[in-house]
Amino acid sequence: MANAVGTLVLLRHGESVWNAENLFTGWVDVPLSERGETEARRGGELLRDAGILPDVVHTSLLRRAISTANIALDTCDRHWIDVRRDWRLNERHYGALQGKNKKQTLDQYGEEQFTLWRRSYDVPPPPIESGTEFSQDGDPRYAGLGAELPRTECLKDVVARLLPYWSDSIVPDLRAGRTVLVAAHGNSLRALVKHLDGVSDEAIAKLNIPTGIPLRYDLDADLRPTNPGGTYLDPDAAVSAIQAVANQGR
């Protein structure tokens, strides 16, 4: 069969209020900023103008991804499509760094430690303490997770918890020929891109995903991208936005 596999579109949520304040966010459920809402609308316009109309959307359980999907889909008149949500698409759990300012963290711990925590593949930040302001124990949406509830994660942990959802929930939609929108987060999408493009543990440190710009992947029958790295629907905006993510904390 030539191309029975549907189109995959990845969309990182628009700017959140904590992105704007330069705070580590992780699983803290902060809303979009006004700018983030505008980015989400622009994301929907890009989908509409490219004629890429999702048949199904998968989101995390966090409102910045959910709101982004709602706004983008409303903009391209696809507000009515099937929706699935799963914690496995959540942002990387940032452990004890959740709620901390990135610049202050950089100044306090230095460049090497900051970059290890932020972008190394397998070094997680220190775990968050249960019952503290930015921990998720007691949050009803994670009640079923039990011991699986993370207290910190590195990107390797995110790959491990994301892949079962990719195989069991997203791949079947693609194999059914559907156009699939995945509305998620900087680091959960980095984990997915690492898998799709076979990015090495070292090279993934340099890969950043901008907010609100849809990234289209065309996949062959083996689910390998025929456009490696994907195609941003607004490539010029993506270049500067990627640089801005890389420079956070500076």
Ligand X SMILES: O=C(O)[C@@H](CO)OP(=O)(O)O
Residues that bind ligand X (CB under 6 A): 19, 24-26, 91, 94, 118, 186-187, 245, 248
**Smaller CB separation from ligand X, 94 or 217:** 94
**Smaller CB separation from ligand X, 48 or 100:** 100
Question: Helices 63-75 and 34-50 meet at what angle, rounded to 10?
Answer: 40
Q: How many angstroms separate the CA atoms of 147 and 86, rounded?
A: 17
Count of CA atoms in the C-beta half-sphere (13 A) of 3: 12
58 is a catalytic site residue: no
Q: CB 235 → ligand X: shortest distance, Å?
A: 21
Catalytic residue among 39, 58, 91, 185, which? Answer: 91
CB-nearest residue to ligand X: 25
Q: Edge-to-edge, what's the strand order for the sheet holding 8-12?
A: 82-85, 56-59, 180-184, 8-12, 215-217, 231-232
**Smaller CB separation from ligand X, 118 or 194:** 118
13 is a catalytic site residue: yes
Catalytic residue among 13, 58, 153, 185, which? Answer: 13
Cα radius of gyration rounded to whole Å, the chain = 17
Q: CB 187 → ligand X: shortest distance, Å?
A: 5
**Smaller CB separation from ligand X, 222 or 240:** 240
Annotated binding-site residue? 102: yes
Annotated binding-site residue? 13: yes
Annotated binding-site residue? 58: no
Q: CB 81 → ligand X: shortest distance, Å?
A: 26
Annotated binding-site residue? 25: yes
Tokens of 56: 């199904």
Strand partners, 183: 11, 59
Annotated binding-site residue? 19: yes
- Torsion, CA 107, CA 111, CA 112, CA 113, rounded to 10: 30
Q: CB 102 → ligand X: shortest distance, Å?
A: 6
Annotated binding-site residue? 95: no
**Smaller CB separation from ligand X, 7 or 90:** 90
Local structure of 1: helix, strand or coil: coil
Maximum Cα–Cα distance across the chain: 56
Continuous H helices in the chain? 17-20, 34-50, 63-75, 102-119, 155-165, 171-175, 186-197, 235-246
Burial bucket for residue 200 (CB in 10 Å: 0-12, 13-18, 19+): exposed
Q: CB 26 → ligand X: shortest distance, Å?
A: 5
Annotated binding site for substrate: 12-19, 25-26, 64, 91-94, 102, 118-119, 186-187
Catalytic residues: 13, 91
Annotated binding site: 12-19, 25-26, 64, 91-94, 102, 118-119, 186-187
